Structure 1
């Protein structure tokens, strides 16, 4: 009897071991995967970057715009740097609401994230993404994009204020970043697609993380038009509340 008692703790641990292994090896949830992908596109507590938007047609640049962006979570402030005629124009997004301001206006004007900025890029495209919380996700069969195995999700917007009604989204299993997207209307019609690159890096929670460097957008119209969003110099920094204060946007 004593012999049995001597080994019973070991037997208890052994019996529990499969459960412990399963707990450690449990796969990340869809929400966690999408949240990691969001972090690589601006959803962090205090970050700034420059974004250049180029609209091209038949491989020739037809228009260019440059913004300086500051983000804290899903609050985003942007100020236009170029061209000269747009310099000083401001954007402010607080969660899902967005405003525009330029000299001469008596107050900031509410705008939609879906409103076209340039080419196939919308105002919401230069801001942080919140696919983890802003969309209802349905997991689809895995697919490969280039050499990478990817999770695939069908994302449906929870709010009419979201930039897109529905997105089919490919997230790299290895890097946990979004690498491809297709955008659809409520009726299910695809109207543009995008590929994403992550040549930038930031230090997040003590780890070196890939950060978005370029989005290439192609509309479904067969006119050879492509829109490039190039993100440069991402830098982590504390941002005061005043940066995201609508009452201070006119200053």
Structure 2
């Protein structure tokens, strides 16, 4: 690349950055907002608020409610980018169970098994939660996104994206995803089967904040899941306070999954 080309590219990068700042600050209409940021850029920002970080640990509580029955499960999650290790700590009947996800491949292990078992992130974990719901999202790379409209949700202006899976290793084939224009986080999702049938809905809350070189960024604190076929059944995923830590590569070594 010539010096002239380099200066030309730098000029446009700076111009684009200033333009994005002005659009977000002034809160222009969804058309201007969308034209300033490509869907992939927006989804990347959303992904960072749902676990796509270079080293993070949090405790997860899964709570299911159906009629007069209520259940809880507690896990510790260690994640780096889109890989994670989940270790179940309670209740006693499932204590010691582990989930490992590396490069879209997932395995389950529990004490007594001779080796980890491959599973799909689409399989049900508990209540309305699938195994893939506890993983960091990578919507920016896993889905083709199309802006389909704008809606106000709980008084907050949102852009609505239609996400269609690029491959079969994702948890959902198609998602309608509501993204807060102000906070750049996903606040609602509708999940569809490959045939186009709506079967699950979710809402997201972001009470946590994480430090970044630019200041702070929101991090997910709660996911509420409602199944269309059982509207009275609700599953809550409570994300404990996240901690940014260095995670050793061996954490995601399948051969070490049987270790205590």
Structure 1 length as normaliser, TM-score? 0.89
Match of 2:28 in 1: none
CA contact (8 A) 1:182 1:192 kept: yes
Kindly name which structure, 1 or 2, has the bigger radius of gyration based on alpha carbons.
1
Does the C-alpha gap of structure 1 residues 23 and 246 become closer, same or farther in structure 2, counting only changes over 3 Å?
closer
Which string of whole-angstrom CA distances, capped at 9 and with x for unpartnered residues, describes residues 46-81 of structure 1?
A: 0011111111013x4522111100110000101001
The alignment status of 1:205 with 2:204, answered yes or no, reads no
Q: 2: CA distance between counterparts of 1:74 and 1:93?
A: 8
CA contact (8 A) 1:100 1:109 kept: yes
Within-5 A mapping of 1:3-152: 24-26=18-20, 27-58=36-67, 60-152=68-160
The runs of 5 or more residues in structure 2 that have no matched partner are: 1-10, 21-35
CA contact (8 A) 1:54 1:61 kept: no
Which string of whole-angstrom CA distances, capped at 9 and with x for unpartnered residues, describes residues 74-112 of structure 1?
A: 001010011111111111001211000111111110000
SS at match of 2:241: strand
2:196 equivalent among 164, 170, 188: 188
SS at match of 1:81: strand
Structure 2 length as normaliser, TM-score? 0.86
CA deviation after TM superposition for structure 1 residue 207, in Å:
1.7
The runs of 5 or more residues in structure 1 that have no matched partner are: 1-16
4+ runs deviating over 6 angstroms: none
Which string of whole-angstrom CA distances, capped at 9 and with x for unpartnered residues, describes residues 164-191 of structure 1?
A: 0100000101101000000000110000
- Across the two proteins, how many residue pairs are aligned to each other? 234
Does the C-alpha gap of structure 1 residues 20 and 92 become closer, same or farther in structure 2, counting only changes over 3 Å?
closer
Q: 1: CA distance between counterparts of 2:151 and 2:97?
A: 41
Q: 2: CA distance between counterparts of 1:25 and 1:162?
A: 34
